[in-house]
A and B are shown apart, each in its own frame.
Chain A
């Protein structure tokens, strides 16, 4: 379940939620007052007219009192807007405070219709590439550098931070931080074509130790097959069409147009946050992903039942 904007788990979304509640209550008050004035005006003067439809003409003498009341209302409007503007700028300023040089840096690239997530390291061998799942340590600022491979996407985790568009040819960046552990979901917010609806992602916030452990595990090449079935599965993967698009580090599969599957089994979801990561769903996805996400780039695969089981056994072991 996507956590609401109003249920913030980090400072950025927290500042925004605070601004929201302030603006909301002032707005409710304004709407109530205007509605009351409107209803009073209607009923008061309807009662006064008592069926008469005579016109008040020629133009009545300018009404000083009404003019003053309208003037006061306009002045009040201006003051409220200035207060809103100030609150907005102050909130923006607070959100800018998060930037720091102690942050974790993540490179996020949008593809139709999935997310490539990279944790770069000065040592190239330590670079981690994964997909559709971001892990961050709690209590530490995180800088997400945004890129797009094709069309415009938009990165959005409602519980943590507002949106940032991923625009081809126009890299950008956004800071966020989670203050409590949890799994936060999000979804692409800029219309990006066919499967915009199913371009989701998961953000896992965990303690610094857990995060470091996860990162270290991700740096390892893929596990070798545990038994002969899985070994056969690996062969099917590497020698079949799968390897043309996907890569599994430590094997000959090094396609670059689809999600990296090196540690697939450790992920919570597959198909860009659309399906739970279970063997059944994975099998359905491999056989006919077009039925689940029509238009996605993965072609249907024809495999015998044994081959499919072998492939699942291999992929299931890629923790």
Chain B
């Protein structure tokens, strides 16, 4: 502790009002337009990330509608092959890299700190850096698309089609660098979430009391750390093949086209679980609240999440059955692909058991959960079908697969996500979403979804391959395609209705109060929307459903400084108080570093010197970021732990 600078008051020395005012001052968001870029608090940054992800969702959804219109009738000429190939590539890349993964992570970055009872993420500036990387990567892809240099080799970008010989120009480079950006952002987010969960939990929240959503985010983050490097490696190799004439994937020079597929799917299959696991975490939270009882089989559900996390890495070859691998190897991956149905099954049975044993309150979020269970089970079953090599050889790369993965991705992730937003919107904004609109929203979404994607199963069996910009009339695929297009219009209007509901409710929704659903987890104990510092006094936890079991004299943490950005660090396993830790405050360096890295990566599309330029700029930016300012490092010494005080 610096002697010249007297320590500010601790929370015990202030009344609740004074403490409130002091924390407001200490945790204030930087003001004004420039200040907007310096913000490092997890809620504003995550909110921006969620909104950005939904903008990408709307854009990519619009592309989906264009594709459906193009395919509505045979030999349609709405878009030609060049544009169509760009459209489906940008649609897939956006939905996977710029919507699904970021939005799930952003939900975690928003809710993990409030659910575990702390004030911010462990590395607030790093989180902001990740957000800007995500925005720059997404912007790169979409600006290129509008300039007609959008990538056109599919979201999987198979070599040699995406190699220098068959994709001249810069389209594929844009794709490869967009991957680099967004994977960096995901990795940063994953590190944030893991450290925050492991070290900043409220006292009493031992690992076996963590909300299941927090567990889901933890498992997902570990998956990201192991999966993303594979695709960054692959996209790096591809960029080098294209930019500096390496031959990683060029069979003529001893490279291997299949290497790409292994690297890509080693990431690509865990990727779908990276999207799906947070969604199941949301479902567990929602089921618990709307069944009005703690979830049935907490331990089984958590172990299922962890099992899914491991098994998700053992199935990538089922994307490659048609390349002709040895039969024994294929059988192994068939078995692994079927095995992963078991943890998913365990979760579904536990949710149904919870609803069965509980007293269900039917609200929009639960409707989406019910829609999720039906849709996901259907999509899971078609997934099990494709695990069987013989069936996969027939349906692989057909519309059957398009149907399947939309069932598991929209059914498995977007249904829960929309339900979760109906559920948490009041916490984020202070206002309830309109329930009537919500129910209409659900039914439109449910009907539109199945109308769009169910016919695609049949189309695939009838021989319609994926990624075709048109088809001949004599194929007989016209009628089912027309039905799917009608469904897509219904689905699109459901999404529109959801956005309208958001805007209307944001302005004039019913005031929510702290805990409108009488929910169980910690985030519902603080005002809606929560202040930047989240908790006036850091909470303690006595069960898995802390608010339902809160005692009148539930202790809170005291002894925290009120004038600086202090959080309580607790032990990994039992969340025993360990020491106080000073977090970083607002700064422009994350943005400047993101710009420096961004300039490097984007310049590298055109010249290898981009790497050098980026390295120099990043060095300057990082030097600025870490420059010691000589400020007092506040009272972070390890004490016996802060004193506890009984709440008044």
Contacts and interface: CB of A to CB of B under 8 A. Distances in A.
A311 interface: no
A78 interface: yes
Interface in B455-503: 461-472, 474-476
B339 A34 contact: no
A167 B258 contact: yes
A77 B387 CA distance: 15
A59 B323 contact: no
Contacts of B366: 42
A228 interface: no
Nearest to A3: B463
A150 to B, nearest CB: 6
Interface stretch (A120-128, A185-193, A238-246, A256-264): A185-193
Contacts of A13: 394
B359 A70 contact: no
A64 interface: no
B327 A66 contact: no
Interface residues of B, number: 93
A81 B342 contact: yes
Interface stretch (A156-164, A247-255, A298-306): A156-164
Contacts of A41: 352-353, 355-356, 360
A2 interface: yes
A241 to B, nearest CB: 24
A33 to B, nearest CB: 10
Given A3-B463, A89-B331, A274-B472, A70 B388 contact: no
A102 interface: no
B345 A77 contact: yes
Interface stretch (A15-23, A207-215, A217-225, A229-237): A15-23
B467 A196 contact: yes
A247 to B, nearest CB: 24
Contacts of B323: 165, 167, 170, 172
Interface stretch (A46-54, A132-140, A277-285): A46-54
Given A30-B381, A45-B358, A52-B359, A169 B468 contact: no
A146 B547 CA distance: 64
A254 B373 CA distance: 61
Interface stretch (B395-403, B437-445, B587-595, B605-613): B395-403
A193 B377 contact: no
A317 to B, nearest CB: 27
A20 B393 CA distance: 12
B396 A56 contact: no
Contacts of B357: 45, 56, 60, 63, 66
B544 interface: yes
A88 interface: yes
Interface in A159-207: 161-165, 167-170, 172-174, 185-197, 200
Given A45-B356, A45-B357, A78-B342, A162 B390 contact: yes
Contacts of B346: 70, 74
Contact of A189 (B257, B348, B391, B396): B396
Nearest to A152: B158
B267 to A, nearest CB: 19
B469 A197 contact: yes
A161 B396 CA distance: 12
17 contacts: A23-B388, A27-B384, A34-B373, A42-B362, A45-B355, A49-B360, A55-B518, A57-B549, A63-B357, A70-B300, A73-B349, A85-B334, A88-B389, A152-B257, A156-B465, A197-B469, A200-B472
Given A16-B390, A66-B356, A163-B394, 19 more contacts: A13-B394, A16-B391, A31-B374, A42-B370, A45-B357, A46-B359, A46-B362, A55-B518, A57-B549, A59-B543, A60-B357, A73-B345, A84-B387, A92-B390, A163-B322, A164-B324, A189-B466, A191-B153, A274-B472
Interface of A: 1-6, 13, 15-16, 19-20, 23-24, 27, 30-31, 34-35, 37-38, 40-42, 44-46, 48-49, 52-60, 63, 66-67, 69-70, 73-74, 77-78, 81, 84-85, 87-89, 91-92, 95-96, 112, 150-152, 154, 156, 158, 161-165, 167-170, 172-174, 185-197, 200, 274, 294-295
